[in-house]
């Protein structure tokens, strides 16, 4: 697995298939979030939602439900809830990180103000719960869906708390990073699949295996994201190294603190501790140089590959009907290039 096992053509085709599956929630989103309400909220929501997005999470929900023998139409509202909460996290994350550009468009807080961004995100959280309660399933299944949703929501918030408060920390370790990223990304990435499985009537053994799959896929996905941040293709207005400018505790930062020379370690701590506006392009390149000398870039690639292998092993324990397709999806998510 030294190289991605999906060609660019395969990745494009799979992305199109996933987007088509995810777009099945379009009418539900229009029902839950009407575009033409003059409420100071709808315009901002659709400014954000209209900037794009792959809709992978709702696609995973619907595919998991169908592949476990369920009727995926019964999972449409939960899939919509997953997409809404995903975008709610992005709206708040942009504000917390100070990011002014997402998907090459102004972020909600940059366009409408910080207060509106907080309120829009809060509204979306409520709408996600409304979506779950509208699901065409029995009450006991709704309770299970709400429990899965709320548990994941709280774990993700705990992960974000670590993300925000470990920035520039001088003693941040790889173990700390893995805890952070599992909380923030691992449970969250599995949520759609968990919900789809619940709608399909899967037992707790299957649910736990899907959660385990997420705990491998999510960190692998995030490590690739850490690496992609060093490129211009991440949809942030062509700016490289946003994570460095924000002082974010990435796997690269954690590994280099443990393996860099004392001089490089102090230099890196100084760079990561700067205010965003004071961080120069030279600082960004300086951090990358330190990561190269410490072997952190190679370590990140190797760790992502290890987690991908573990995810594929876990996948074999889950009774999905279309196992080859799910293998492709795991590789698509964990070997991402954009």
pLDDT in tens, 37-46: 878 999 999 9
Report whether pLDDT(319) > 60. Answer: yes
The per-residue pLDDT for range 170-209, each reduced to its tens digit, is 999 999 999 999 999 999 999 999 999 999 999 999 999 9
Q: Which long-range contacts (CB under 8 A, 24 or more apart) does 138-143 make?
A: 141/198, 141/199
Residue 172 DSSP code? -
Q: What is the pLDDT of residue 236?
A: 52
Mean pLDDT of the 312-338 span: 92
Q: In the block, which residue shows the tokens 């989103």?
A: 29
Q: What is the pLDDT of residue 38?
A: 78
Mean pLDDT of the 29-58 span: 91
Mean pLDDT of the 104-120 span: 97
Query: How many angstroms separate the CA atoms of 52 and 32, rounded?
Result: 18
Structural element, H or E, at residue 72:
none
Q: Count how many residues are written for the chain.
A: 338
Structural domains of the chain in order of their starting residue, each with its CATH number: 8-334 (1.10.600.10)
Report whether pLDDT(3) > 80. Answer: no
Q: What is the pLDDT of residue 36?
A: 86
pTM score of the predicted model: 0.93
Q: For residues 29 and 80, is the Cβ–Cβ distance under 8 A?
A: yes
From 206, 181, 184, select the one nearest 193 (Cα to Cα).
206
């Amino acid at each position: 697995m030294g190289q991605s096992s999906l060609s660019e053509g395969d990745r494009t085709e799979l992305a199109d298939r996933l987007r088509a599956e995810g777009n099945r929630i379009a009418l539900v989103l229009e029902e839950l979030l009407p575009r033409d309400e003059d409420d100071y909220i709808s315009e901002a929501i659709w400014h954000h939602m209209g900037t794009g997005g792959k809709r992978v999470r709702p696609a995973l929900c619907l595919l998991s439900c169908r592949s476990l023998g369920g009727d995926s139409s019964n999972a449409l509202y939960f899939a919509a809830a997953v997409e809404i909460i995903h975008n709610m996290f992005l709206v708040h994350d942009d504000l917390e990180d100070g990011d002014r550009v997402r998907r090459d468009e102004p972020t909600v807080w940059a366009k409408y103000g910080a207060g509106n961004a907080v309120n829009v995100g809060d509204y979306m959280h409520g709408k996600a719960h409304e979506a779950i309660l509208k699901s065409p399933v029995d009450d006991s299944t709704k309770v299970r869906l709400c429990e899965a949703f709320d548990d994941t929501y709280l774990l993700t918030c705990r992960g974000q708390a670590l993300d925000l408060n470990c920035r520039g920390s001088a003693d941040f370790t790889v173990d700390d990073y893995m805890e952070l990223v599992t909380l923030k990304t691992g449970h969250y990435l599995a949520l759609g699949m968990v919900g789809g499985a619940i709608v399909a009537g899967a037992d707790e053994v299957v649910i736990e295996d899907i959660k385990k799959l997420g705990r491998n896929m999510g960190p692998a996905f995030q490590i690739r994201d850490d690496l992609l941040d060093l490129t211009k293709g991440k949809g942030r207005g062509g700016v490289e190294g946003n994570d460095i400018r924000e002082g974010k505790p990435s796997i690269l930062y954690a590994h280099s603190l443990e393996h860099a020379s004392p001089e490089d370690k102090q230099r890196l701590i100084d760079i990561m501790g700067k205010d965003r506006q004071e961080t120069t392009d030279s600082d960004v390149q300086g951090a990358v140089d330190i990561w190269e000398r410490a072997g952190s870039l190679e370590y990140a690639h190797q760790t992502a590959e290890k987690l991908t292998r573990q995810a594929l092993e876990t996948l074999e324990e889950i009774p999905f009907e279309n196992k080859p397709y799910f293998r492709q999806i795991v590789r698509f998510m964990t070997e991402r290039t954009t």
